[in-house]
Amino acid sequence: MTRDFNELTSTAAVLERNVNCRDVRLREIMISLVTHLHAMIKEVEPTFEEWAFAIDFLTRTGQICDDKRQEFILLSDTLGVSMLVDAINHRRNSAATESTVLGPFHVSGAPHLQMGDSITRDGKGEPLYMSGRVLNESGAPIAGALLDVWQTSWDGFYDVQDDRQPEMNLRGQFVTGNDGRYFFRSVKPASYPIPSDGTVGTMLTALGRHPMRPAHVHFIVSAPGYQSVTTHVFVDGDPYLDSDAVFGVKESLIVPFVRHDDSAAAERLGLGNPFFTAEYDFVLVQATVPQPAPFAAKA
């Protein structure tokens, strides 16, 4: 029983109160959370007004969230937490494609398209032809790999943010054939700000940070028998590669988007001229096969 809660006894008192938690993982998490949270409070010594502001900040963050906007994901992203969790859960010593954040703008149920189709539904922007292969770690092509693709418009907005765009604009899903190749038409993506009209934007301004993300195309690549990867392909030369607001850039994911002025090639690819090309090969790791449970003789 705790009858003298003070700075010295606070952490132990809360941990003692939680001792009956039967969920081992929850107990482990709460011990760490309480210990670190109490340590932070003791270090910074917030005033009543500062602590009330913090609670109000979190309250307003939740109030902004809806079926199209997740401000808590943005908060996690801009604090580097999303990428840290991703790094912890994707520790690999291999040549596999590196992962990065999913981001708050993925939409399930993008249209299934034929290889070579265009994912742009309004045709606005500089034409892009993107291609590559899906391979295993030995370099062999993976047939039947699914690529779920989405990106911003030419002026830096996802369709769910922009009433001017058709539904499912710049989204699509493609399945590789026996050669493991993928190719589709699109438009060159643009650098863009994460939504900054809410609590996260207020925080970034107070910290002297910008809200910009470098231009990229999102991919979730999966195949039977392989671990899926959620990643981006970034546009080489983008001015925000070294200051991505959500810390998502990795050197291995930066690719040249090459400009061409070739009418014949553009016509052959079904694009306007001039146009851009980008090529990237995805490498998937074979899934770990669950081992059968040890045989247990019946009593």
Query: Is the confidence at residue 144, as pLDDT, over 50?
Result: yes
Distance from chain centroid for Cα 71: 14
Three state DSSP letters for the chain: CCCCCCCCCHHHHHHHHCCCCCCHHHHHHHHHHHHHHHHHHHHHCCCHHHHHHHHHHHHHHHHHCCCCCCHHHHHHHHCCHHHHHHHHHCCCCCCCCCCCCCCCCCCCCCCECCCCCECCCCCCCCEEEEEEEEEECCCCECCCCEEEEEECCCCCCCHHHCCCCCCCCCEEEEECCCCCEEEEEEECCCCEECCCCCHHHHHHHHCCCCCEECCEEEEEEECCCECCEEEEEEECCCCCCCCCCCCCCCHHHEECCEEECCHHHHHHHCCCCCEEEEECCEEECECCCCCCCCCCCCC
pTM of the full structure: 0.88
Spell out the domain ranges in the chain.
1-45, 81-284
What is the per-residue pLDDT for 92? 74
- pLDDT class for 69, splitting at 50, 70, 90? confident
Which pLDDT does position 103 carry in this prediction?
Answer: 83
Please write the tens of the pLDDT for every residue from 87-122.
Answer: 998 887 678 999 999 988 899 999 999 999 999 999
Q: State residue 172's pLDDT score.
A: 98
Average pLDDT over residues 38-64: 97
The fraction of the chain above a pLDDT of 90, given in percent, is 87
Q: What CATH number has the domain spanning 81-284?
A: 2.60.130.10
- pLDDT above 60 (res 295): no
**Cα separation, 63 vs 179, whole angstroms:** 48
Mean pLDDT, residues 8-22: 95
Mean pLDDT of the chain: 93
